[in-house]
Structure 1
């Protein structure tokens, strides 16, 4: 029950040969200019949103009983989106795209990320390695695909991930449960034990200054990251004492889980798709890796609230120090230059999340350019 794509991404794919200079030259120079005050205006915008939503939530107890549950759900969803916007700004600080001042970048990023229980410097270091080695099978840092042998599937038939079947086939409840667990708890698991990271660092913690993830000279910065988290935990603990644990859970805890959902959803969908290749050391280069990304349209409201991290991610990977407020303009120029190598998908993000989690299961053990496969028994049409 399904249709095969008309183009086989494995058979027809030819790695791109662009240089960084070629791509930079096609984008107007002003797109690379950082404006500190403009960047802070987005912080103020997001903080106002967070404050207004919390203020509105303080009146939910006055609503009729039958409206209180849906009102809290609406608050959790909206607050999760607003806080994810702040996370995106903090992430931009980590790239040095927020300001020309390194101090402004780091102080702002540390404060915002710590408030969201993210170890700023630890995340900045591993995320930097991800950008430097995107979709390199031996050096990337996140969502590294597992091989067929790692999954213990040697000798079993496999199907290219682009071979589609019905959403109702192959135990959909299991996949729905797994993708939900990944979306809500994948982010803290990644920070705590580097889940989805490369084999050499599985089990390594972003909170441990002596972790294999970091160099010896980064010890102090990781400690500073941990101090930021401890300060946030201290504030939350005081809030529990002053108001109640339930109040903190309702105002902060559930929105925190919603932020986890958005972070995992956004990052997973940016790099996981049947059409996205993965390279070995011999065939990989920076531009090829940077173009292993997909821009996804979440609708204008989410695109705006998330500062376009989802629909301008190709530009972000090619030019990670470009401010987000120039990325959409840069994307239009990159589209023309990249042609068929520019990837865009406007599939509903929830459907895409489920579909890609289900179908993009592993890659073969050998090859210079590899695409996702799965254990579906569907016949492959010629």
Structure 2
């Protein structure tokens, strides 16, 4: 039994298994193409990724402390931030219930993975669930969705600066303020992000987040700010940049369509994402670039996504998107081209204020 029902599972229950006029296949067709074992998490294997990431992070800190050299610290920050991002991906599986079949273990490892990197596990899990349930829907998607041209014109300098020109450091602000046009905090149980029944979960995650803040404050008080910079802040900034880069590129491309109203439904929206190749980083950050299959069936463990992707590619055909461009090139292309969409219509695409 899955812990957190997948948005795709809920959709398949409510939607007749008939072909739509928009897509030449149904959600059931896609599900039938994937071997059943791809949906079965292995607790032992999932735990191995968690302990591997924790072990590498601890080893990196030990090496940095031993060398204590400013020549090494930039290398350490990049490596540590990359592993923080890998640890986030482990917690990401926990949030989807694909880490194990045990709710208590998903919650435990989710907090142990996310709290050290200042992510409120349940707050993020719930907002991320909203994102998965509404991917590709201009009106109801939760993260990295496009603003309309009129909304873009109304945005102030600071809002545009963070959303469009400094996107790689936007994540901490999102936790407190969400995305343009939306309100609510990931830390407050009365936020519009959450249901009343989720209040206790949010309180627990916020307490864990505050405990980590307190721990970092104690380290700073005892050893000084320079110590915090050396052994945590540098790596944390790199982690935030990884998180923003990857999530930005999952959903931001000038040829990915967005939908409105009745023109949107789950499967069509889930296909408005793109797989990316991160080269040597693919195994390090647990193949998070394999994203199309994940959006269709978020209850699959990350280590089954590549097999599932190969199984559905023949069925999806041209509806499956994968970029072969270098990551840096894709980022800068979308950075310049993807700012807003038209105020009206559906199946619309990003536009740029720089090309009119």
Q: TM-score normalised to the size of structure 2?
A: 0.89
Question: Structure 2 CA distance, aligned partners of 1:84 and 1:92?
Answer: 13
Structure possessing the higher radius of gyration over alpha carbons: 1
- More helix per residue: 2
Q: Is the 8 A contact 1:18 1:287 kept in 2?
A: no
Structure 1, residues 118-173: CA drift from partner, whole Å, max 9, x if none?
111111111001101101111111112111111229xxxxxxxxxxxxxxxxxxxx
Give the one of 331, 339, 343 matched to 2:317: 339
Task: Answer whether contact 1:276 1:293 (CA < 8 A) is retained.
Answer: yes
Structure 1 residues without counterparts, runs of 5 or longer = 1-13, 62-67, 154-174
Q: After TM superposition, what 4+ stretches of structure 1 lie above 3 angstroms from structure 2?
A: 175-180
CA distance in 2, matches of 1:279, 1:180: 25
* Aligned match of 1:8: none
SS of the residue aligned with 1:371? coil
Number of equivalenced pairs: 331
8 Å contact from structure 2 (residues 134, 266) kept in 1 = yes
Tell me, yes or no, if the aligned pair for 1:135 and 1:292 is still in contact at 8 Å.
yes
Shift of 1:176: 11
In the TM superposition, 1:1-382 aligns within 5 A as 15-61=22-68, 68-152=69-153, 181-184=166-169, 186-196=170-180, 199=181, 201-202=182-183, 204-299=184-279, 301-310=280-289, 312-377=290-355
C-alpha distance 272-89 of structure 1, shift in aligned 2 (>3 A): same
Identify the residue that residue 10 of structure 2 maps to in structure 1: none
Q: 1:376 to 1:318 in 2, by over 3 A?
A: same
1:351: how far off? 2.2
How large is the RMSD of aligned CA atoms in angstroms? 1.9
Secondary structure of the structure 2 residue equivalent to 1:150: helix
Measure how far apart 1:377 and its partner are. Answer: 4.1
Q: Residues 174-209 of structure 1, C-alpha deviation per residue, up to 9 Å, x if partnerless?
A: x9998673202x00010010034xx2x23x211111
Which whole-Å CA distance do the structure 2 matches of 1:322 and 1:75 have between them?
32
Superposed CA deviations along residues 216-257 of structure 1, whole A, max 9, x for unmatched, are: 221111111110011111211222233222111211111111
- TM-superposed CA distance for 1:69, in Å, is 3.5
CA distance in 2, matches of 1:305, 1:330: 19
Unaligned runs of 5+ in 2: 1-20, 155-159
Contact 2:164 2:339 in 1 (8 A): no
Aligned equivalents of 1:218 and 1:278: distance in 2? 30
CA distance in 1, matches of 2:330, 2:96: 28
Kept in 1, the 8 Å contact 2:60–2:80? The answer is: yes
- In 1, the alpha carbon distance for the partners of 2:22 and 2:59 equals 48
* Cα distance per residue 1:78-107 (max 9 Å; x no partner): 111111100000011000000011111111
Contact 1:271 1:294 in 2 (8 A): yes
Structure 1 position 17, deviation (Å): 4.2
Does the CA contact (< 8 Å) of 2:176 and 2:187 recur in 1? yes
> Which position in structure 1 is the counterpart of 2:9?
none
